[in-house]
Structure 1
Amino acid sequence: MDIHEYQAKEILANFGVGVPPGALAYSPEQAAYRARELGGEAWVVKAQVHAGGRGKAGGVKVCNSDQEIYAASEGMFGQKLVTHQTGPEGKGVYRVYVEASVGIAREIYLGLVLDRSSQRVMIVASAEGGMEIEEISANEPDSIVRAIVEPAVGLQEFQVREIAFQLGMDPAVTQHMVRTLQGCYRAFTELDATMVEINPLVVTVDNRVLALDAKMTFDDNALFRHPQVAELRDKSQEDPRESRAGDRGLNYVGLEGNIGCIVNGAGLAMATMDTIKLAGGEPANFLDIGGGATPDRVAKAFRLVMSDSNVQAVLVNIFAGINRCDWVAEGVVQALRETRVDVPVIVRLSGTNVEEGKKILAKSGLPIIRANTLSEAAERAVDAWRNDVAQGTQVRAVS
């Protein structure tokens, strides 16, 4: 789960990380008022969306008066901010963050991520702050500093000092860096985060270390332990299909293809998508219905897949171990009778109670295309999609 910049800064500030004074606004009038509350002579207005690259897309504006703040925020509210991370559809702007401007002496990139190979938290830093980490890796690979944190002892002060030395930081600000990095690490571990990114982390002209921007991502599976974090979720920034799936206990990722997938098990779902690609098709989604594929759960999965207007065929691929094929078959029949599904449906069942499942599909009288293997199911799904599209084109041509 991602959160907004202002939320991440509030969390990090509670762990001792320095942040500039700022306030949230939901209208241009409120944004101008927030600036007067903060005081000063210059402010930064930032669109709050779950995406990087806001500055290049016009989502970050430096302002020197109330009028400039009003105009900048008015140009953001209600608009779609399109960055390299949002895709062409963009993200809606419904709130802005007004922050006091600070004098910057230098910028640094700082990130904490889970390193899967070492199964540890890795600190990634670079003296080239202000750029995306992908740009830094491509343009300044030698500037990247990495350090692994041993979980038995946590982040040690000497490690932070080594990082600061490698970044060429002034010894006068090293202790500020220690407090900042140890605060980030505690926030990461105590709140079950999967990423903390500060870009840029700045050293000010008066030798303070401040997080000028902040991003945090949390492990969805651990949110039950942190209700205060779960409350920060903003569904307006999420794919509505993925939000609906999450609310129903389904693992769903929307893609840009046209063959919907309903599969049990993440590994089998990946294999199904690969096989569809090999057969010449494009998967429309990743959908893992999990181990308890009851009829009602399968029906929910169908309704979710069919909510995507790009779907032109549905492939159901179930290998029943914990599941039962007869339950899945009942779910497919229930979904087709309750939900309008006007595209070809291909079903491949294997495992527990597979014969009973096949009988349920056969007796239903519904136009279900059955397959015995995954490759056969993928080929039939692609063929059915192509035939359906061709027939639709012919109908439109005749009409």
Structure 2
Amino acid sequence: MDIHEYQAKEILAKFGVETPPGALAYSPEQAAYRARELGGELWVVKAQVHAGGRGKAGGVTLCRSDHEIQDACEGLFGKKLVTHQTGPAGKGIYRVYVEAAVPIAREIYLGLVLDRSSQRVMIVASSEGGMEIEDISAQRPDSIVRSIVEPAVGLQDFQAREIAFKLGLEPGLVQNMVRTLHGCYRAFTELDATMVEINPLVVTRDNRVLALDAKMTFDDNALFRHPQVAELRDKSQEDPRESRAADRGLSYVGLDGNIGCIVNGAGLAMATMDTIKLAGGEPANFLDIGGGATPERVAKAFRLVMSDDNVQAVLVNIFAGINRCDWVAEGVVQALREVQVEVPVVVRLAGTNVEAGQKILAKSGLPIIRAGTLMEAAERAVGAWSSDLNQNTRVRAV
């Protein structure tokens, strides 16, 4: 789960990471009022969306007066911000963060991520802040500092000082950097985060170390332990299909294709999408209905897949180990009777009670296309979609 910049800064501030003063606003007038509350003569207005690259896309504006702040907000509220991370659809802007501008002496990149290979938290830093880490890695790989934290002892002071020295910080700023690193690490571990990124972390002209921007991502599976974090979720920034799926306990990722997929198991879902591509089609989604594929759960999956207007075919591929094919078949029949499905349905079942499942499908009287293998199912799904496409009709293969 992602959160907004202002939310990440509020969390990090509680762990001792210093941030510039700022306030949230939901209208141009409120933004101007927030600036007057903050005081000063220079402010930064930032669109709050779950994406990087806001500055290049016009989502960050430096303002010198109330009039400039209101003009900047008028160009943001209710609009879509399109960055290299949002895709062409963009993200809606419904709130802005007004922050007092600070005099910057230098910029640093700082990130904490979970390194899967070492099964440790890795700190990644660079003296080339303000750039995307991918650009830094490509253009200045020698500037990147990496340090793995041993979980048995946590981040040690000497380790944090070593990072500060490698970044070329002056001796008087090292302790500030150590405090910042400790705060980020504690926030990461205590709140079950999967990423903490501060870009840029700035050194000001009056020798302070401030988080000028902040991003945090959390492990969805650990949110039950942190209700205060779960409450920060902003559904307006999520794909509505993925949001509906999460609320129903389904693992769903929307794609740009037109053949919907209903599969049990993440690995099998990936293989199904690959096979659809091999057969000449394009998957519309990744959908893992999990181990407990009850009739009700399958029906929910159908409703979710059919809610995507781009879907022109749906492929159901079930390998029953923990599941039972007869349960899944009952779910398919129930879904097709309850949900308006105006496209071909291709079902491939294998595993426990497969014969019983095939009989349920055969006796249903519904126009279900059955397949024995995954390749056969993908070919029939793509073939049914292509056939109906040529007749200018909308198709869905299950």
TM-score (norm 1): 0.98
Rounded to whole Å, the distance in 2 between the matches of 1:215 and 1:123 is 15
* Residue matched to 2:266: 266
Matched residue SS, 2:216: strand
Deviation at 1:310, TM superposition (A): 1.0
- Measured against aligned partners, the alpha-carbon deviations of 1:291-323 in whole angstroms (never above 9, x if no partner) come to 110001000000100111111111000011111
Deviation at 1:379, TM superposition (A): 1.0
CA RMSD of aligned residues (A): 0.9
Deviation at 1:58, TM superposition (A): 0.5
Rounded to whole Å, the distance in 2 between the matches of 1:393 and 1:264 is 29
Deviation at 1:162, TM superposition (A): 1.0
Rounded to whole Å, the distance in 2 between the matches of 1:328 and 1:269 is 16
Rounded to whole Å, the distance in 2 between the matches of 1:177 and 1:8 is 18
* Residue matched to 1:97: 97
Rounded to whole Å, the distance in 2 between the matches of 1:380 and 1:198 is 49
* Residue matched to 2:303: 303
Deviation at 1:344, TM superposition (A): 1.4
* Residue matched to 1:84: 84
Aligned positions of 1:52-63 closer than 5 A: 52-63=52-63
Aligned positions of 1:19-98 closer than 5 A: 19-98=19-98
- Measured against aligned partners, the alpha-carbon deviations of 1:229-250 in whole angstroms (never above 9, x if no partner) come to 0000000000000000000000
* Residue matched to 1:229: 229
* Residue matched to 1:292: 292
Q: 1:268 corresponds to which letter in structure 2? A: L
Deviation at 1:388, TM superposition (A): 1.3
Matched residue SS, 2:318: strand
Q: Does 1:174 align with 2:174?
A: yes
Deviation at 1:393, TM superposition (A): 6.3
Contact 1:344–1:388 (CA<8 Å) still a contact in 2?
no
Aligned positions of 1:107-186 closer than 5 A: 107-186=107-186
* Residue matched to 1:200: 200
Q: Does 1:247 align with 2:247?
A: yes
Deviation at 1:268, TM superposition (A): 0.5
Matched residue SS, 2:391: helix
Rounded to whole Å, the distance in 2 between the matches of 1:392 and 1:102 is 59
* Residue matched to 1:209: 209
* Residue matched to 2:351: 351
Matched residue SS, 1:207: coil
Q: 1:381 corresponds to which letter in structure 2? A: A
Q: 2:38 corresponds to which letter in structure 1? A: L
Q: 2:125 corresponds to which letter in structure 1? A: A
Identity in percent? 86
Q: 1:353 corresponds to which letter in structure 2? A: N
Higher mean C-alpha displacement, 164-173 vs 26-35: 164-173
Rounded to whole Å, the distance in 2 between the matches of 1:279 and 1:155 is 50
Q: Does 1:327 align with 2:344?
A: no
Matched residue SS, 1:392: coil
What are the ranges of 5 or more consecutive residues in structure 1 without an aligned counterpart? 395-399
* Residue matched to 2:277: 277
* Residue matched to 1:397: none
- Measured against aligned partners, the alpha-carbon deviations of 1:206-251 in whole angstroms (never above 9, x if no partner) come to 1100000000000000000000000000000000000000000000
Q: 1:364 corresponds to which letter in structure 2? A: S
- Measured against aligned partners, the alpha-carbon deviations of 1:303-361 in whole angstroms (never above 9, x if no partner) come to 10011111111100001111111111111111111111111111000111111100010
Q: 1:69 corresponds to which letter in structure 2? A: I
Rounded to whole Å, the distance in 1 between the matches of 2:341 and 2:114 is 41
- Measured against aligned partners, the alpha-carbon deviations of 1:44-92 in whole angstroms (never above 9, x if no partner) come to 0000000000000100000011111111111110000000000011000
Contact 1:298–1:328 (CA<8 Å) still a contact in 2?
yes
Aligned positions of 1:366-377 closer than 5 A: 366-377=366-377
Q: Does 1:191 align with 2:191?
A: yes
Deviation at 1:280, TM superposition (A): 1.1
Rounded to whole Å, the distance in 1 between the matches of 2:38 and 2:362 is 70
Rounded to whole Å, the distance in 2 between the matches of 1:6 and 1:149 is 27
Q: 2:182 corresponds to which letter in structure 1? A: Q
Rounded to whole Å, the distance in 1 between the matches of 2:344 and 2:155 is 55
* Residue matched to 2:342: 342
Q: 2:318 corresponds to which letter in structure 1? A: I
Size of the alignment, in residue pairs? 394
Q: Does 1:312 align with 2:288?
A: no
TM-score (norm 2): 0.98
Rounded to whole Å, the distance in 2 between the matches of 1:224 and 1:17 is 25
Rounded to whole Å, the distance in 2 between the matches of 1:178 and 1:33 is 35
- Measured against aligned partners, the alpha-carbon deviations of 1:119-160 in whole angstroms (never above 9, x if no partner) come to 000000011100111111111111111000000000011111
Matched residue SS, 1:138: helix
Matched residue SS, 1:309: coil
Matched residue SS, 2:125: strand
